[in-house]
Amino acid sequence: MPELLWPSERYKDSFLNAAREAQEAGSGLGDTLALNLPAVTADFAAYLSSLRQYEPGQPLPEGYVHSETLWLVEGGEYLGRVNLRHTLNARLREFGGHIGYEIQPSARGRGYATQALHLALERARDLGLERVLLTCDVVNLGSRRVIEKGGGVLEGEFTVPGHTEPIRRYWIPL
Ligand SMILES: CC(C)(COP(=O)(O)OP(=O)(O)OC[C@H]1O[C@@H](n2cnc3c(N)ncnc32)[C@H](O)[C@@H]1OP(=O)(O)O)[C@@H](O)C(=O)NCCC(=O)NCCS
């Protein structure tokens, strides 16, 4: 069974393969597509620290909320990741929500995102959240299905400034 774990050097090779695959396919979360892979490969420890920079206990830059990144791992291989925001600000309330996820392209269609969300909801519950907001593009049928299978209750469809696609907002009570 896959697990959600803290990012670690142990998964360096499979993480880099997954990020390369996402970039070649042009399909993944924005920061993965924008990742400078040669720099990350050269100093993976610095990349791992950057993933932990918004965790509680660290000083937050203006406009940021506490958040964490967890990796979905199975059999020693990186498969995808979850970003979990501990609170919302006005922008995240509109678009972004508490939880974002991605699965590496070659691992999709096997239920991993469904499992990642299930594990992320357990983590959110452990953190004391009472309900979480998830948003996705209206055209992202895969993500819609994942959220609906996870118990998402549709708030509605919206357009948001700075984002070209209409979005859906869902709430999941915990
Ligand atoms: C969206 C994404 C996370 C789905 O990951 P996945 O591991 O393939 O999802 P699952 O295998 O858990 O599929 C869950 C359900 O969605 C359906 N599904 C998955 N991709 C789909 C697609 N492109 N179109 C329609 N349905 C899709 C599956 O059939 C499954 O439904 P079922 O259980 O009724 O059969 C993945 O495509 C991805 O990483 N996309 C890029 C990043 C992204 O969009 N993240 C979400 C941002 S809101």
Give me the pLDDT at residue 58, please.
85
Q: What is the mean pLDDT of residues 120-130?
A: 98
Report whether residue 140 contacts ligand 1, using a CB cutoff of 6 Å.
yes
pLDDT of residue 57: 92
Is the CB–ligand 1 distance for residue 110 below 6 Å?
yes
Tens of pLDDT, residue by residue over 37-74, are 999 999 999 999 999 999 999 899 999 999 999 999 99
Q: Per-residue pLDDT averaged across 29-38, rounded? A: 97
- The answer on pLDDT for 122 being more than 90 is yes
pLDDT, mean over the chain: 97
**Checking DSSP bridges between strand 131-137 and strand 167-173, what pairing results, if any?**
antiparallel
Reference 160, options 105, 103, 101, 97; nearest CA is 97
Q: What is the per-residue pLDDT across 3-28, written as a single tens digit (0 to 9) for each?
A: 999 999 999 999 999 999 999 999 99
Domain range summary for the chain, segments of one domain joined by +: 3-129
pLDDT at residue 152 is higher than 90: yes
- CB of 145 sitting under 6 A from ligand 1: yes
3-state secondary structure the chain: CCEEECCCHHHHHHHHHHHHHHHHHCCCCHHHHCCCHHHHHHCHHHHHHHHCCCCCCCCCCCCCCCEEEEEEEECCEEEEEEEEECCCCHHHHHCCCCEEEEECHHHCCCCHHHHHHHHHHHHHHHCCCCEEEEEEECCCHHHHHHHHHCCCEEEEEECCCCCCCCEEEEEEEC
Residue 165 pLDDT > 90: yes
Q: What is the pLDDT of residue 128?
A: 98
Q: Is the dihedral of CA 164, 144, 111, 75 positive or negative?
A: positive
d(CA 77, CA 71): 10
Asked if residue 124 has pLDDT above 90, the reply is yes
For 3-129, CATH gives 3.40.630.30
Q: What would the two tokens of residue 162 be?
A: 């700075």
Ligand 1 centroid to Cα of residue 111, in Å, is: 8
